[in-house]
Structure 1
Amino acid sequence: MNLESYYIPKENTSKPKGEDAHFIHKDYQTIGVADGVGGWTKRGVDAGKYARELMENCVLTLYGENKGAVNPMVVLNKAYFDTKAPGSSTACIITLTRDNYLHAVNVGDSGFMLFRDGEMVYKSPVQQSAFNCPYQLGRSKGCDRPSSAEELKVAVKAGDILVVGSDGLFDNMFVSEMKEIIDNVEKDGLTPKELAWTLAEVASYNSLDGDGDTPFAQAKRFAGLGRGKGGKVDDITVIVAYIVI
């Protein structure tokens, strides 16, 4: 995989790093994204620290698991037990296997989409207990453990484009908007970094539009919560991988 990322933290002077975290390990063809749950702010906790420590521990686990194929569930499980920071976060870990599958584990509403020949052919399921209340890893009461993660395997082909992100991306961009941008990848000669940047910037623009329609607004209407207009102001992480086999 040819891998790159782009991150836009929402403006917050007390949390300049935001609450998202991610990693890319090109040697192991493995990536991960975590989104610290903002509700911890009411308790004086920066959940971004939990997300960052969780992702750092995933990378450390990868270095310790270098004798064979990467198992995302093993990586997530060990990273979870090694993470001591207060808070909680979603998590999605994905690796490309030697037999050309994406092997992923996902907890919550971060996730990924796979595009092939201009069409979205797969979207990872969202895990949430209620509207805007995703499953979340953490040690506190009410939080989830890695056993709650959904394990996924998706076949890939050369030329596929993988888009991984936190909910700040998926809540603020429709698939049709992503397809329009991805359709121009070859024509415009976009690198993975440039595609990640473009997707993140459009999602960020949509998040600040108080009257526009977004997936978040549609979900809000469906849940019967208010007028259901506008985007969701949030941290936005985008990782793009061009599949090369």
Structure 2
Amino acid sequence: MARIVKESPYSEKRYLPPQTLLQNAYNGIVKDGKIEGGGSTACIAVGSQDGTLQVANLGDSGFIQLRLKAVHHFSNPQTHAFNTPYQLSVVPPKILALTRLLGGTQLSDSPADSNDTNHQARHGDVLIFATDGVWDNLSQLELLKIVSRQMTASNAWVTGDSGTEVSNNLHDLTQEGGIPKQHENTLQTLLAVSIVGEAKAASINTRRDGPFAKEVQRHYPDENYHGGKVDDICVVVAIVVKNEKDKS
């Protein structure tokens, strides 16, 4: 996807919907042939300078849009059945042949199956894109608490006369060195690291039932499943900041 965007003419970059970007990249991987077999979910966003955000989500990765201590939008996972997410796949010919021989079918979804949504981002919004290792272990409310705590402690969100407001320091906090730490030296990196840490801790906590545990209990009450779910955890955080030149 990075190569496709980089090599596209400027005029085309502005009109690359995320589903199209995903489709072209998937076609390239299949044609290349270097990947013999595998599968992946996907969550891709394309933002414009006017604040328009297009998102294509396929499977149980996803994103959440937070605005001033509130959940503004949360993507719903796509699954064929419980714990069976949609995913792009490259299935080896031998596996396909064996599946057909046994009378079965191989699940394989396409970029066209992604759930496409349009959103309007606003100055101060926090956008979180993550794999299911986050969503299976942290609820929307828990994520909101993590982000609100860091945004407030960093004075990115402040209490004003009309409630919670975006501070005038937000732009500086999102620049390299905006946070006085050796590694997490931008606000968005600090948020991502905090979410990863909380999700990892919850995943190995056998006494804390996360969203996945609650779903197992709902679908399979006899399983006696409790605790977190150890899984891959990947987080990308974007903070929406108004262009300094546009400020009045």
TM-score, length-normalised on structure 2?
0.72
Residue 157, structure 1, aligned to residue 122, structure 2: yes
| Cα RMSD (Å) | 1.4
2: distance between equivalents of 1:203 and 1:78? 32
**Matching of residues 1-245 of structure 1 within 5 Å:** 58-68=1-11, 69=14, 70-83=16-29, 84=33, 85=35, 86-140=37-91, 141-189=106-154, 191-224=187-220, 226-245=223-242
2: distance between equivalents of 1:228 and 1:187? 36
What secondary structure is seen at the aligned counterpart in 1 of 2:141? helix
Cα deviation code 1:172-211 (max 9, x no counterpart): 1112211212112333226110110011001000000122
Q: Please identify, of 63-72 and 148-157, the stretch whose mean Cα deviation from structure 2 is larger.
A: 63-72
Q: Please identify, of 201-210 and 185-194, the stretch whose mean Cα deviation from structure 2 is larger.
A: 185-194
2: distance between equivalents of 1:128 and 1:64? 33
Moved beyond 4 Å, runs of 4+: none
Q: Which amino acid aligns with 1:230?
A: G
Distance change >3 Å, CA 66–CA 167, structure 1 → 2: farther
Q: Which amino acid aligns with 1:223?
A: H
Ranges in structure 2 where 5+ consecutive residues have no aligned partner = 92-105, 155-178, 180-186, 243-248
1:32 maps to none
Q: Which amino acid aligns with 1:228?
A: Y
What secondary structure is seen at the aligned counterpart in 2 of 1:138? strand
1:106 Cα offset (Å): 1.1
1: distance between equivalents of 2:122 and 2:241? 8
Q: Which amino acid aligns with 1:67?
A: Y
Question: Identity rate of aligned residues, in percent?
Answer: 31
2: distance between equivalents of 1:118 and 1:219? 26
TM-score, length-normalised on structure 1?
0.73
Q: Please identify, of 118-127 and 138-147, the stretch whose mean Cα deviation from structure 2 is larger.
A: 138-147
1:151 Cα offset (Å): 1.0
2: distance between equivalents of 1:216 and 1:198? 20
2: distance between equivalents of 1:64 and 1:74? 15
1:67 Cα offset (Å): 2.3
What secondary structure is seen at the aligned counterpart in 2 of 1:93? strand
What secondary structure is seen at the aligned counterpart in 2 of 1:211? coil
Structure with the higher helix share, 1 or 2: 2
Larger radius of gyration: 2
1:99 Cα offset (Å): 2.7
Structure with the higher strand share, 1 or 2: 1
2: distance between equivalents of 1:66 and 1:188? 42
Cα deviation code 1:18-67 (max 9, x no counterpart): xxxxxxxxxxxxxxxxxxxxxxxxxxxxxxxxxxxxxxxx1111112342
2: distance between equivalents of 1:88 and 1:78? 16
